[in-house]
Amino acid sequence: MLIGEYGYNIDIKGRLNFPAKLRDDMGERFIVSKGLGDKCLYAYSLEQWKLKQERIKELPISKARQLQRYLFSSACECEPDKQGRIVIPQPLREFAGLTKEVMIIGADDRCEIWDKAEWDAVCGEMNAESIGELIDALGF
């Protein structure tokens, strides 16, 4: 399970430190792709990415092709360098609006990479009432 919240800066070449704790759980290489429904990037271990691929392959092509195009066309395989940095390609940086300050969060089976201002806005929309409703629905 990937957990935690980490703040870093991304440089003009698109290099971003990836937290050591999350690197340990993600493996030596992992996949970064567009997020689904949010203005962020998702990072999956190779194992989790393969599971997502298999589930998409199970769909009829009429339903799967848009998702395949969306996820796979922009996805990249990342391997942290000796300093623990990964390179986020320009199209992915533009998609997520990554500027200088970036938040990397653990989100169970994936990591999410957010521009800090966007992350702060999303967190500002969360409140005790909306979270409480979700907790009640899950029976916690």
Burial of 19 (0-12, 13-18, 19+ CB in 10 A): buried
What was the pLDDT predicted at 125?
A: 83
Is the pLDDT at 9 greater than 80? The verdict is: yes
Are 101 and 9 in contact by the 8 Å Cβ rule? The answer is yes
Q: Within a 10 A sphere around the Cβ of 39, how many other Cβ atoms?
A: 16
HSE-CB of 47 using CA atoms within 13 angstroms: 7
Q: Give the confidence band of 37 by pLDDT, cuts at 50, 70, 90.
A: confident
What was the pLDDT predicted at 44?
A: 97
CATH of the domain at 83: 3.40.1550.20
Q: Which domain holds residue 100?
A: 5-138
What was the pLDDT predicted at 14?
A: 96
HSE-CB of 102 using CA atoms within 13 angstroms: 28
Is the pLDDT at 129 greater than 80? The verdict is: no
Is the pLDDT at 127 greater than 90? The verdict is: no
Q: What is the pTM of this model?
A: 0.91
Q: Within a 10 A sphere around the Cβ of 32, how many other Cβ atoms?
A: 26
What mean pLDDT, rounded, does the chain reach? 93
Residues 96 and 119: their CA atoms lie apart, in Å, by 11
Q: Give the confidence band of 1 by pLDDT, cuts at 50, 70, 90.
A: confident
Domain count within the chain: 1
Burial of 67 (0-12, 13-18, 19+ CB in 10 A): middle
Q: What are 89-111's pLDDT values in tens digits?
A: 999 999 999 999 999 999 999 99
Q: How many percent of the chain have pLDDT more than 90?
A: 82
Helix axes 46-57, 61-74, angle to 10 degrees: 150
